[in-house]
Amino acid sequence: MSDPAIIVSPMSRTTAVQPSFDDLGVPLADVTFVVVDLETTGGAADSEITEVGAVKVRGGEVLGEFQTLVRPSAPIPPMIQVLTGITNQMVAGAPPLAEVLPAFAEFARGSALVAHNARFDTGFLRRGYEQLGLSWPRPTVVDTVAVARTALLRDEVPNCKLATLARHFRSTTEPNHRALSDARATVDVLHGLLARVGNLGVHTLEDLTEFALQVSPDRRAKRVWAQGAPETAGVYFFVADSTAADGTPKREVLYVGKSNNLKRRVRSYFSAAEKRGRIHEMVRVATGVEFIECATDLEAEVRELRMIESLAPRYNRRSKNQRKLTWLKLTDEAFPRLSVVHTVRDQAPHFGPFRSRDAANEAALTLYDAFKLRRCTPRLSRRTPSASCALAEMGRCLAPCELGAGAEAYPSVVEEVRSSWEADVRPVLRSVRGRLTKLVGQQRYEEAGEVAERLTAYYRTSLRFHRVRSLARCRELVAAVPSAAGWDIHVIRYGRLAAATSAPSARARTAAEEAAAMAETVLPAVGGWPAASIEEAERVAAWLELPGVRLIETDGSWEWPLHAGLPDGALPRELLGEQPLAELLAS
């Protein structure tokens, strides 16, 4: 899969696109609002509805009203009776909620719900729907409290209570804690607020909901950028066009992302769903957004990684330093030692990668505990002996520096280390059994936990090592997975995605052959590591491990050593041995 230049067709630029009606949203004059208010027995989770009042309006005209008392299953608390004026006698002959909610659902069907402090009212409605087995329609909800807090200044109203706003907008109905009266007052407040926010660029239902969530007008206006985006998998990138000091055009890619539905994902950047401060800043700076369609989700993931690595967009945080990793290396000298390195430059044995130098040093300590490797850094001679250090006196190093028996036995220790990397992780894991058993027996659980945590981290690195190495050693894999279009097909060479396509089932075999024939030429990397970044190889490996993936062609072996990993749940037994933990704690 060759990397495209960051050039797209003229239609993919979105800075000068005329918005369609779909992108503009539903004009407020065409929206049917159902303004609802509930009276309840309280605000607790077990409280019940005692009255429902609602007014249906559109374009400033009242279309209908809905009002009924509701008989709760428990008495109304005295304080609530005083507040609302609704008594137990009044609701004794009222219909139960099981009769009221279906009628209200029909009244409100297809409408946007409006309420003052909407979370309270919609919370009771949703709970009632669930109790009755009704499907909650997920309507658009407008909270007049939220709109008022954004639209009105503090010197205009002291607070956003319904009575305060009703007086401010000269409502013809005074709210009195009865459902229909409060709903009528909320209608007047709604109309007053709509007149106010219309001067602030709020003209559609979508504008109104985003305005209530404090989405800036500038960000809402850029929502039309998503119009040219396809509803397919791909990569999107925000750009900033400017002019350099010498007058030449200048372009910067600000942010790169991927999605399986580009249009839906890009639109989310201009709505209240996007809450990241740095992304708000990025959208403000951006002058446009562009797209690259991809045949499959995996291709989109890989293109995103490669673009982030090559362009280093300033608003991306993840995946910018894909090559900034750390390995442990067995040095190429008379008596090899462990060295922490940041690049693989030769064929010497390497283990990792680790995400930090500290993690590599922790793994080195694990290996020193398991094998009597030397820790000193001087280059030792095979012919001239030198003085040993304190570790040799403690029996924790073979002291090859002294030559003699230690030097003769040292190559076998180095081979054990190499084997633990390449073939069998169990000797490293089992090396702490005695120490862990002793610590647990002495109830030194914190120290035992630190040892176990270090071995667990080492084991996870071993799994990562074999996962990427097994792919890197395979010259070619052609694999497919079922998709909505038929089959997603990928060609993978030395751990790098070389081609991607999608085809209906009838053409899957032919499409796979064509993809392999047209795939990018990939050469093996130094040391048997992936020809791509480690992060790309891991994404490819994750895709290959999905349920339903089928191998079509293989050139080389995609395999792990038998003991590179452990069965599920076997790690504690490898660390502690056959004796159950309960017995250790009891001993």
Q: And the tokens for 114? A: 């409006």
Listed in sequence order, the residues at least 6 apart from 458 whose beta carbon sits closer than 8 Å to its beta carbon are: 362, 363, 366, 428, 429
Q: Is residue 563 annotated as a catalytic residue, yes or no?
A: no
Rounded Cα gap, residues 166 and 168, in angstroms: 5
**Could you give the C-alpha distances from 174 to 34, 66, 191, 195, 338, in angstroms and in order?**
19, 18, 15, 20, 81
Rounded Cα gap, residues 525 and 508, in angstroms: 30
Per DSSP, 556 falls in state S
Q: Which residues of 343-365 are buried (b: 16+ CB within 10 A; e: fewer)?
A: ebeeeebbbbbbeeeebbebbbe
Secondary structure, 3-state, 258-296: EECCHHHHHHHCCCCCCCCHHHHHHHHHCCEEEEEECCC
Rounded Cα gap, residues 31 and 174, in angstroms: 25
Q: What are phi and psi of 18, to 5 degrees?
A: -75, 125
- Looking at 168, 177, 191, 203, which residue is catalytic? 177
Q: Which residue has the tokens 């790098």?
A: 496
Rounded Cα gap, residues 486 and 503, in angstroms: 6
Q: What are phi and psi of 266, to 5 degrees?
A: -65, -40
Rounded Cα gap, residues 144 and 212, in angstroms: 8
Q: And the tokens for 437? A: 């058993």
Q: Evaluate whether 526 touches 27 at the Cβ level (below 8 Å).
A: no
Rounded Cα gap, residues 95 and 74, in angstroms: 14
Listed in sequence order, the residues at least 6 apart from 259 whose beta carbon sits closer than 8 Å to its beta carbon are: 233, 234, 236, 265, 266, 300
Give all strands (DSSP E) within 94-150, no chain letters: 112-115, 141-143
Listed in sequence order, the residues at least 6 apart from 42 whose beta carbon sits closer than 8 Å to its beta carbon are: 77, 80
Compute how many other C-beta atoms are within 10 angstroms of the C-beta atom of residue 415. 10
Q: Evaluate whether 140 touches 113 at the Cβ level (below 8 Å).
A: yes
Q: Which residue has the tokens 């559609």?
A: 204
Q: Give catalytic residue positions.
A: 177
